Structure 1
């Protein structure tokens, strides 16, 4: 059985957790070496195979805006011939970024990271909603297997897209424990929030909550990382660093007094687990998938209320030692090897179907 991981719509550095998922899955499959898997990648992401045999598909022209992505998908669907030749002999094709490019005469697995565009359409432009309707919804309805990262996403997908339950498999993401681990660093008086400034990341209410916290804790700082966060610099105590290298982010996890994660919507939500793996206390939103991911190892709060966010942070700081222990135990249950094994099971199940 030959499996293709078709990753043509990858735009490096612009896709958040879905890029981490795809690259980590490739790395874990390459380490296991149990199936014949090839990564098919665009020219702008030649290294995305992460150790798997890799085919660079120069024929696909990537775009960074919603309109450009839609044009790229349309061109690829209209003239798929040259691309298809690269995939000859493939039995199962997995599209980890949901979009089924190119369409192939093979069994199909897609990963549906969330249905945020259906749950909270107001957060998306008209062009982005149109793109997702064509590229995501149709792909999910036509796939043999739909992989989702949490039971939360599974429930929303079943309701919003009318999928058959038997076709939707929950496979939790993993944590790179070789990177995200304690190293004995001393905790410093700052909160950490690593997130791009997308609307659902809820930076505005976090800044309001932080102003409340500073009244009683003037020494406390808030460190923001992620693309676009540099624009949020200015309020007292706020350090807005923008996108930072992975090594710097790991160091921040290890030194932070607490991770605060006020997101309004997550299909999975890796930063709380990454922080836990580093022994960092976590205060997180009680919305969407986050209670499922965090379990009882974090303080959960109502993300629409700055006072509730502030209270959640105060509680996490007061329970720092307990939450650090619980977090390490929780994060240990999430590995990329286990995720890769479950993906392999999905691929094999399709090879046995008539």
Structure 2
């Protein structure tokens, strides 16, 4: 069997949903490879300076002298040429003969205004090439349909291996509550890079519709202007707090104390933060973007991402709750989050990689062994 080389460039990138996916899938693949003990070689290759993850069965090596996309196309492409390349974070070598790449969404095509011109142009070009030279995977049925439409593929040829949520809810740190004066206060929480797509402005407008002092809004995340052009978060108001990026345990501590988690995104391929909130016992108010309805089902309350009046109504309901509203939604969320597992998605990805390892170089439909909850 040919060795399987995992593209570790994600190790050098700031943590967001795509990088979270890559980290957790690699951890689950490591557990699977260690348990299988079948002689299949797995190796995680990364650019110079990448931190070494704690792995038992998957090897780790830094290679090359370059970084970024150039590292993908030169160092990683060359080192993995005799085996299977697995790229989990939206990009990889364009002309590798045995390559599985996970494209998380079709946002560069569907929402080009949310990206800098250079970023959007590069990803549209690269994804068109990859659709002809690599096997494509994605994270939801919604993204499968979107990618099939924009890339001219048969949807059934696109593998679906969804996100998980079993990493969430295992550790929490409440220090951020005291640092920002939130202990015992009503507050709503948002999480993610503060970009146009994440649509924080609608949450800020909805907060402004509540009676003065009814609640605060805590927006965890940071702006990446290099990717998202001139986008910036709304001007901070008295009741909006921007704590920046926080460790996972502090985010979990905020989720457990928040009145509700708000996810106002305009476009998502999957949307992990609502599942993380559910895992931490936090009710969720989500935009009705199609992927969010697929992922969250009937476990959350929905609003149009442009309707701050509807969101304000849901926020008032949450603030006025005496306990029953919160309890029902926590129960529904905990049931929903059990549908998603990194282990199941890693199994689907591993089987696809093993198929590539055993086969002659050829592009074709992947087995329909999806790991994605259906609502």
Give secondary structure in 2 for the equivalent of 1:20.
Answer: helix
Aligned to 2:19: 19
User: CA shift at 1:164, angstroms?
Assistant: 2.4
2:90 to 85, 91, 98: 98
SS of 1:25's equivalent? helix
Match of 1:191 in 2: 188
Sort the Cα spacing of 1:197 and 1:84 in 2 relative to 1 into closer, same or farther, 3 A.
closer
| Residue number in structure 1 paired with 2:41 | 36
CA distance 1:85–1:287, shift in 2 (3 Å): closer
Alignment partner of 1:201: what SS? coil
Q: For the residues of structure 2 that align with 1:83 and 1:343, how far apart are their CA atoms?
A: 19
Structure 2 residue 344 is the aligned partner of structure 1 residue 338: yes
Shift of 1:213: 2.3
RMSD: 2.7
Distance of 2:127 and 2:204 partners within structure 1: 33
Question: Which residue does 1:213 correspond to in 2?
Answer: 210
Which runs of 5 or more residues in structure 2 are unaligned? 175-182, 225-231, 361-375
Number of residue pairs the alignment of both structures matches: 334
1:1-354 alignment runs, 5 A limit: 1=1, 2-8=3-9, 11-13=12-14, 16-33=16-33, 34=36, 35-47=40-52, 52-62=58-68, 69=69, 72=70, 77=73, 80=74, 83-87=76-80, 89-90=82-83, 92-101=84-93, 103-105=95-97, 107-143=98-134, 145-177=135-167, 179-181=168-170, 188-215=185-212, 218-228=213-223, 234-315=236-317, 318=321, 319-354=325-360
Q: By how many angstroms is 1:84 displaced?
A: 4.8
Question: Is the 2:145–2:155 contact (alpha carbons within 8 Å) kept by the matching residues of 1?
Answer: no
Q: Deviations over 1:92-145 (max 9, x none)?
A: 21111232237434x2111011111111122222211221122223213321x3
SS in 2 for 1:45: coil
Answer yes or no: is the 8 Å Cα contact 2:287–2:305 preserved in 1: yes
Q: Which runs of 5+ in 1 are unaligned?
A: 63-68
Distance 1:320 1:279, change over 3 A: same
* Aligned partners of 1:264 and 1:288 also within 8 Å: no
* Counterparts of 1:304 and 1:46, CA distance in 2: 40
Deviation at 1:195, TM superposition (A): 1.6
Please state how far the C-alpha of 1:251 moved relative to its aligned partner: 0.7
Q: CA deviation at 1:162?
A: 0.7
Paired residue secondary structure (2:6)? strand
Once the 2 structures are TM-superposed, how far is the Cα of residue 330 of structure 1 from its aligned partner?
A: 0.7
In 1, distance between residues paired with 2:288 and 2:223? 24
Inter-CA distance 54–181: structure 2 relative to 1 (3 Å threshold): closer
Change (3 A) 1:270 1:287: same
Tell me the CA shift for residue 268 of structure 1.
Answer: 0.9
Q: Is the 8 A contact 2:7 2:76 kept in 1?
A: no
Greater mean deviation of Cα atoms: 245-254 or 295-304:
245-254
1:66 counterpart residue number: none
Shift of 1:193: 0.3
Distance 1:160 1:168 in 2: 13
Distance 1:238 1:158 in 2: 40
Paired residues of 2:4 and 2:357 also in contact (CA < 8 A): no
CA offset at residue 320 of structure 1? 1.2
What's the CA shift string for 1:310-330, capped at 9, x where partnerless? 123344564211010000111
Post-superposition offset of 1:175? 1.1
